[in-house]
Structure 1
Amino acid sequence: MAATITPHTFRPRDLVGGHLVIDLLNTVTARDAEPLDWLDGYPRLLEWAALTGHFAPEDLAALGRLAESGPTGSSATSGAFAASGASGASGDSVISGLASASGPAAAEQALARVRELREALHDLIAALVHGEAAPEEAVERVEGHWKSAAAAARLTVREGTPGLRVTVETSGLDRLHDEIALQALDLVRALPRERTRVCPGQRCGWLFIDGSRAGRRRWCDMGTCGNAAKGRTHYQRKRAAGTGPT
């Protein structure tokens, strides 16, 4: 998908998807018209991630330092990991490896991988929602991103529940990508298709999972697309009745 990259300050009203992965898909708006990509840089990705509440602030701070440090910024990288408890021979090895993948250029590459994952997931989930055959290319791309994330993950047990976990130490600047890739597989396997919809609003096309009791939610947000549609309908009725502007 070709989209125009444009700056955007993320707000709570931008998180209407009902799932972290769906909210990532919606960082592109106006997919039904002239798409706009709101992720105009790695710092913006961190801003979005902070708003979701799914990532620890200390992790996002460490990623910010990694993104700013130069390719040889081992001291800055070491400082980023010190608070996370990376120590000993294995910890030093991890830090040394990630230091070479720090800096603005590496951050842009990490952002590009998030964008690639986002678009593959959008194609896959949109097809599932519409009851269409899943695009093979999208499936293969999602699989590749998941395998990359799984390779960086560690199996841990929290409160008696095993799961794959990723950290800044294991994933570096791909920490957000890897978390989303892991969650994406869980989502598509259990996607509530009858409750997952595409907003019909003009210049929108956002996806969302309807969590309402009645299950009749139509718009991504009644306060934006819903009210805009009501306004257009009201205008058209007045014009048809000859009482509105011509």
Structure 2
Amino acid sequence: MAATITPHTFRPRDLVGGHLVIDLLNTVTARDAEPLDWLDGYPRLLEWAALTGHFAPEDLATLGRLAESGPTGASATSGASGASGASAISGLASASGPAAAEQALARVRELREALHDLIAALVHGEAAPEEAVERVGSHWKSAAAAARLTVHEGTPGLRVTVETSGLDRLHDEIALQALDLVRALPRERTRVCPGQRCGWLFIDGSRAGRRRWCDMGTCGNAAKGRTHYQRKRAAGTGPT
């Protein structure tokens, strides 16, 4: 997908997907028109991640420092991380700095688009695109290779950290969660917003299961306004 990269300040109203992975897909808006990619840099990705509440603030702060530092700048994190933390982070020094952060962001974008193609096909009842399946699988394998098996409250699972993933920490977490989502995707409740210049995906968590819009306050109200305007024009009482 070709999209225009544009700055955007993320707000809570941008998180309407019902799942971390779906919210990542929605960092591109107007997919049904002229797509706009809101992830204009690694700091913006961290801003989005902080808003989701799925990532520890201290991890995001460390990633921010890694993204800013050069290949020998990991020592800048030692004051906040302590001796053991500084030792672990120093091992990531060769993969730090603006260039490495840009590459990590590119991997997030690649994963996002592959997931969008796959999930959109599932929602529409279409055959899953082979290329998208292969790309998602490749990203998952990369994330799994960096993960460690842990047991939390009696449940085993794969866990990634800044120490194991470096600047790919967000990518790896999303890739791991994506596989779980795709396997258990509630297709009858996952929809594409029909709003103009939208195309966002969302999981309808309402009791009635009749949610149509990504958000009633934006796309829903806009559609109601257009309908009202068209009715007034048809009745000859509106502006021409």
Tell me which interval the TM-score lies in, with the shorter structure as reference length.
over 0.9
| 8 Å Cα contact 1:86/1:169 also seen in 2 | no
Shift of 1:96: 3.9
RMSD, aligned α-carbons: 2.1
Alignment partners' CA distance in 1, 2:121 and 2:79: 43
Secondary structure class of the residue paired with 2:46: helix
- Superposition TM-score, scaled by structure 1 size: 0.93
How far the C-alpha of 1:94 sits from its partner, in A, is 4.6
Q: Alpha carbons of 1:151 and 1:191: their partners in 2 closer, same or farther (altered >3 Å)?
A: same
Q: Distance in 1 between matches of 2:144 and 2:79?
A: 22
Matches within 5 A, 1:1-246: 1-77=1-77, 94-246=88-240
71 and 212 in structure 1: CA distance in 2 versus 1, 3 angstrom threshold: same
Quick one: distance in 2 between partners of 1:39 and 1:147? 24
Distance in 1 separating the partners of 2:10 and 2:115:
21
Q: 1:136-188 deviations in whole A, cap 9, x for unaligned?
A: 00000000000000000000011111100000000000000000000000000
8 A Cα contact 1:124 1:135, kept in partner: yes
Mark the CA change 1:131 to 1:70 in structure 2 (over 3 Å): closer, same or farther. same
> Is the partner of 2:47 in helix, strand or coil?
helix
Question: Is there any run of 5+ residues in structure 2 with no aligned partner, and where?
Answer: none
Secondary structure in structure 2 of the residue aligned to 1:86: helix
Residue 86 and residue 233 in structure 1: after superposition, are their counterparts in 2 closer, same or farther (change >3 A)?
A: closer
> What count of residue pairs does the alignment treat as equivalent?
240
Q: Structure 1, residues 22-65: CA drift from partner, whole Å, max 9, x if none? A: 00000000000000000000000000000000000000000001
Determine if contact 1:146/1:182 at 8 Å carries over to the other structure: yes
| Cα 1:15–1:88 shift into 2, 3 Å | closer
CA distance in 2, matches of 1:185, 1:6: 29
Instruction: Give the TM-score normalised by the residue count of structure 2.
Output: 0.96
Q: What do residues 72-118 of structure 1 show as CA deviations (whole Å, max 9, x unaligned)?
A: 213125xxxxxx99999997775343110000000000000000000
CA contact 2:11–2:51 (8 Å) conserved in 1: yes
Deviation of 1:194 after TM superposition, in Å, equals 0.2
Q: Which runs of 5+ in 1 are unaligned?
A: 78-83
* Aligned partners of 2:75 and 2:86 also within 8 Å: no
How far has the Cα of 1:71 moved from its partner? Answer: 1.3
Aligned partners of 2:79, 2:20: CA distance in 1, in Å? Answer: 27
Q: 1:221, 1:89 → 2: CA distance?
A: 46
**Aligned-partner Cα distance in 1 for 2:10–2:183:** 29
Matched residue of 2:59: which SS? helix
Deviating runs (4+, > 2 A) in structure 1?
84-97
